[in-house]
Amino acid sequence: MVKIPECIEKSEYEKTLSSPPDTNKISPQTGDITLALAGNANVGKSVIFNYLTGSDQVVGNWPGKTVDRAEGNFQFNGQNIHIIDLPGIYSFSTFSMEEIVSREYIAHEKPDVVINVLDASVLERNLFFTLQLIEMEVPMVVCVNQMDIARAKGFEIDTKKLEKALGVPVVPTVAIHGEGLQKLIKSAVNTAQNKKKAQMDLEYGGEVEKAVKQLQTFLESEKVELDYSNRWVAIKLLENDPEINKLVESKQNRAIQLANYLALELEQIHDEPSFSIIASERYSLANRIAAGAQKQTEYKITLSEKLDKFLIHPVYGYFTSAMVIIGLLIWTFIVGNFLSELITNAMSFFQPVDPTLSGPIFAVLWNGAFGGLVAGLTLIVPFVIPFYIMLAYIENSGLLTRVAFMMDSFMQKIGLHGKALIPLILGYGCSVPAIDSTKILETKRERLLAAFAITFAPCSARTIIILSLVAVFVSIWWALALYVLDIFIIFVMGKLALKAMPGERTGLIMEMHSLRLPSSSTIIKQTWNRVKSLAYLVFPVFIVGSALIQVFYVLGILGPISNFMAPLTVGWLGLPVFAGILLIVGIVRKEFVLLTLVSFVGTNLALALTPVQFIVLALIGMLYIPCLSTISILIREFGVKSASVICIANLVTAFVVGGIVAHLLPFVM
């Protein structure tokens, strides 16, 4: 076998270490070694994963969960290795879905080796999670990554001392350049073959360690066997972990009674909750280990720290955050619209045909199926791909954490924290990637609240309606007024949703890593994996949905439905009777409202609608039920019930607000 150099160019590294792409090899085979990458967010796990697997990887969801699951294969010394990139977490609590799926995978699936990736520049903070992994007594190797950043900050890490303190192999790496990765995999393979589990030789403070050992001894004597180590279970019982309490209670209720007694003793001694006591002990131990392994040679103020003086400044920070948001909006409306125009021109050969002239079957296939394909292309290419590229840059550069930190107080008013701002902004471009990106939030409740707010944001398709109907035929000021009204509606509906979904608000807890320029290959792969999963959802929905609308049109079903809706569309909203058909076809995609209107009355829309009707129709198109692709992703992420409630809320809000505006506008215009 060719020896891989410690530092090597990325293209050579992938050729040497990675097996050729084979999408059929993702599932682990008999004899494979399974590695799991675990660690805090932003420590470089995904960089390591991408280097090792190349294009031989898939990204999906964990079974029954909405948390991303990345896995792939590569070969090393003739050995086929299956690797899982676990979500970035800070502990094994049950506060987030990411923490639950990570600890369940390690405990139940039992990977051959867990590679715990640390950020060398914040070693003490990362060791808090390392100690929890060691408590689980799993085979593991510690990867001290980003050694270059530590050196830039004036730190030197003695990995030999760290290895001696932790009792597990420790390998230094600079993953972005491929440094140390060969040694890391070699160490992981040796650990897997020797089947050596981590052992906790280090101990906590006197009374805490005494309580842990007493409870651990009781569990062993009563033969309470779980997939987790007895020491880890004992600590979790003292922390009052609800899931572990349930598991142990079903086997030995006396263990719960003993744990409660010991926890109460600790709380009386320390005068604070038991879980806080355990956390303090871990941090104290992590501090001692880090202090013994790292040496500060010379303190250097990095460029990232200099920029942070502006990015998170109490005053200037709001301006820099606003610039990031404005930049996203410019990207949304200028770049997206420019690409959309190019694609629309390229697809100009597609023109809807009249079923009475061309035949119903050809009309269904051309207007429906092929029209849906064209609609999918004009969504994915100009809007979804640029959004995901920009989102990947914001996430990986560290800008996201800064903007989220500054906007946290505002977002808390609707029950969310600052990180929810990014998906909400993306919603102004396209609701589909925006809702998909709510996965960056910690709890399902927060994701659902964010998705609910996103469905009220005027996406690019709704913007087309607003600009084409109001800005062109009324005035640009009335178009801007609709945007202002929409922001007010998002705020009000967010407050109502917050009352309808009571629950504990989650504080903003994020790793604010150093600013850095992301790797282009990481951005491309991350964007491609996200786009690929969405394309599988969007294209079938558009094609089938467009074909069904054409079938309904050919069968003459839309006309009676429109007449049935007349009391609402004509009586309450003051729109022409054909507005019912516009709203029906708009469910497939919002631009169909405008396209169908043009097909009915021609390009001079002012002959068919009054200024008030233009505004009301644009307002209804902006607020009412989301398009089919948005409904599909809502169902995929949150289930049919939640998606239905969101759609009904959109529908009711649109018709209530639209009717009020329709009755008030004649007095002000």
* Known binding-site residue numbers: 39-46, 50, 53-54, 64-68, 85-88, 145-148
Residue 99 shares a structural domain with residue 219: no
Claim to verify: residue 121 and residue 44 sit in the same structural domain:
yes
Binding site residue list for Mg(2+): 50, 53-54
Residues 457 and 606 in one domain: yes
- Domain assignment present for residue 284? The answer is yes
Q: Say if residue 410's pLDDT is above 80.
A: no
**Is position 199 within any domain?**
no
Taking all residues of the chain, what is their mean pLDDT, rounded to a whole number? 79
- Partners of residue 68 on adjacent β-strands: 61
Share of the chain above pLDDT 70, in %: 78
Annotated binding site for GTP: 39-46, 64-68, 85-88, 145-148
Whether 201 maps to a domain, the answer reads: no
Residue range 34-71, pLDDT digits in tens: 999 999 887 888 889 888 887 555 555 554 454 667 88
Structure confidence at residue 181 as a pLDDT band (50, 70, 90)? very high
Say what the pLDDT of residue 627 is.
Answer: 87
Query: Is residue 416 domain-resident?
Result: yes
Structure confidence at residue 417 (pLDDT)? 63
Residues 215 and 178 in one domain: no
pLDDT at 353: 56
CATH classification at residue 245: 1.10.287.1770
Higher pLDDT, 69 or 116: 116
- Dihedrals phi, psi of 496, to nearest 5 degrees: -65, -40
Q: Are 153 and 301 in contact (CB under 8 A)?
A: no
Q: How far apart are CA 588 and CA 594, in angstroms?
A: 13
Domain that holds residue 252: 206-296
Tell me, yes or no, whether 524 lies in a domain. Answer: no
289 and 326 together in one domain: no
One-letter amino acid for residue 76 of the chain: F
- Are residues 30 and 140 located together in one domain of the fold? yes
- Residue ending a domain, among 253, 279, 296, is 296
My answer on whether 89 and 217 are in the same domain is no
- In 3-state terms, what secondary structure has residue 33? strand
Residues 184 and 255 in one domain: no
Of 194, 214, 249, which residue is a domain's last? 194
* pLDDT at residue 22 in the model: 36
In a domain, 630, yes or no: yes
Same domain, 483 and 542: yes
Count of beta carbons in the 10 Å neighbourhood of residue 204: 21
Give the strand pairing for 68-76 and 79-85: antiparallel
Q: Please indicate, yes or no, whether residues 50 and 161 belong to a single structural domain of this protein.
A: yes
What pLDDT score does 294 carry?
85
The yes-or-no verdict on residue 18 having pLDDT over 60 is no
CA distance 373 to 634: 21
189, 211: one domain: no
Domain check: are 148 and 212 in the same one? Answer: no
Q: Is residue 147 part of a domain?
A: yes
Which of 194, 226, 252 is where one domain is finished? 194
Residue 366 lies in a domain: no
**In the structure, what pLDDT confidence band is assigned to residue 401 with cuts at 50, 70 and 90?**
confident
Nearest-angstrom CA–CA distance, 582 and 547: 16
Q: Which residue do the tokens 């969801």 mark?
A: 61
Confidence label for 596 from pLDDT (cuts 50, 70 and 90)? confident
pLDDT tens digits along 618-658: 999 999 888 888 998 899 889 999 999 999 999 999 999 99
Structure token pair of residue 161:
């001392």
| pLDDT tens profile 411-447 | 776 666 667 777 887 777 678 878 887 877 767 888 8
Indicate whether 308 pLDDT > 50: yes
Instruction: Give the pair of three-digit tokens for residue 22.
Output: 């084979």
User: Using an 8 Å Cβ cutoff, are 118 and 23 in contact?
Assistant: no
pLDDT digits (tens, 9 = 90+) for 194-244: 888 887 677 788 888 899 899 989 888 888 778 888 888 899 999 888 888
Provide the strand spans (E) within 357-503. Answer: none
Nearest 5°: the CA angle 664, 482, 480 is 125
Overall domain count for the chain: 3
* Whether 105 contacts 138, CB under 8 Å: no
